[in-house]
Chain A
């Protein structure tokens, strides 16, 4: 009986955890924390993206109205209707366009557009980060 017990305990494999387990757990915790941060950032960026997108649409309409009310659209259309005369007096024409350009509305609209593009780029980067991490997790069976 005693010999059989000895045999049994001798044949058991040593189940000590590997030396790298602690490091793996710490890395995994760090990764999870980063994922949480990225997810929070995605939520905030999405909200700002929606707001800035509507802001951009509003500013775009503002530019359209400003182009019409300042006369820029009418002046610009002369290129198509009176091309020969416009080319003869191109300096006056260029000054007319510059003078009637709705600079403020354009600056607001372009700023909103750059904010939308910037937020979109950050959002895509974060979504890529999350999706790539999910793929790695699936591959390693987490």
Chain B
């Protein structure tokens, strides 16, 4: 493209530069918002860690980055009446609040909290609260990957 050939070239260049600046600013602002939410949630989690996990034999997580505040993928390690304790992909434990209007899905079916079992893998989407928990809006049961399933043995086949 030879912008110098016509008179509108300078205007196009100015618009391109302005567009790139706007895009950069938007990206920066998004990063700031996401970073703030993650930092705020991690701070709440750290403050409430002792209370949330009192009596449970977990080590304090050695964090190299902030936790996601709105979604988790991981494995269930404990199920209470209104909470799920799960181990996320960073191997740190997280608490999911299952109070209120929550959709729990397994394949195409709606299931109850009691249908979930320890060691099940789930994906959770929700919003963070001030106790360092995630208030779940959607919990989806995820099938275990093929390599994690028990291969058929002779005893199983019989």
Q: Contact check, A89 vs B73: say whether CB atoms are below 8 A apart.
A: no
Q: Is the CB of A69 within 8 A of B89?
A: yes
How far, in Å, is B62 (CB) from chain A's closest CB? 18
User: Scoring B residues 126 to 158 as 1 if CB is less than 8 Å from chain A, else 0, what string do you get?
Assistant: 110000000001101010000000000000000
Stretch of A1-9, A13-21, A91-99, A124-132 with 4 or more beta carbons under 8 angstroms from chain B: A91-99
Contacts of B105 in A (CB 8 A): 81-82, 85
Q: A53 on the interface (CB 8 Å rule)? A: no
Interface of B (DSSP majority class) = strand
| A96–B140 CB distance below 8 A | no
Is the C-beta of A46 less than 8 angstroms from some C-beta in chain B?
A: no
Contact A78 B125 (CB under 8 A): yes
Q: How many residues on chain B are close to A (CB under 8 Å)?
A: 21
Q: Which of B30, B37, B71, B103 contacts A85 (CB 8 A)?
A: B103
Say whether A75 faces chain B, with CB atoms less than 8 Å apart: yes
Nearest A residue to B138 via CB reads A85
Do the beta carbons of A95 and B70 come within 8 Å of each other? yes
A70 CB–B CB distance under 8 Å: yes
Shortest CB distance B40–A (Å): 12
Which of chain B's residues have a CB closer than 8 A to the CB of A81?
Answer: 105, 140
With A69-B89, A96-B71, A96-B125 already in contact, the answer to whether A85 and B34 are too (CB < 8 A) is: no
Judged by a CB distance under 8 angstroms, whether A86 is at the interface is: yes
User: Residue A71 at the B interface, CB < 8 A?
Assistant: yes
Q: Does A134 contact B (CB under 8 A)?
A: no
Pairwise interchain contact B125-A93, C-beta atoms closer than 8 A:
yes
Cβ-defined contact, B138 with A74, below 8 A: no
B114 vs chain A, min Cβ distance (A) = 20
Instruction: Say which residue of B30, B69, B103, B123 sits within 8 Å of A71 (CB atoms).
Output: B123
Whether the pair B137, A75 counts as a contact (CB closer than 8 A) is no
Q: A82 touching B138 by the CB < 8 A rule?
A: yes
Q: Does A74 lie within 8 Å of B70, measured CB to CB?
A: no
A contact residues vs B (CB 8 Å cutoff) = 69-71, 74-75, 78, 81-82, 85-86, 88-89, 92-93, 95-100
Q: Given A89-B126, A99-B34, list of 15 further CB < 8 A pairs?
A: A71-B72, A75-B123, A78-B123, A81-B105, A82-B140, A86-B138, A89-B125, A92-B71, A92-B125, A92-B127, A93-B125, A96-B68, A96-B71, A98-B34, A100-B68
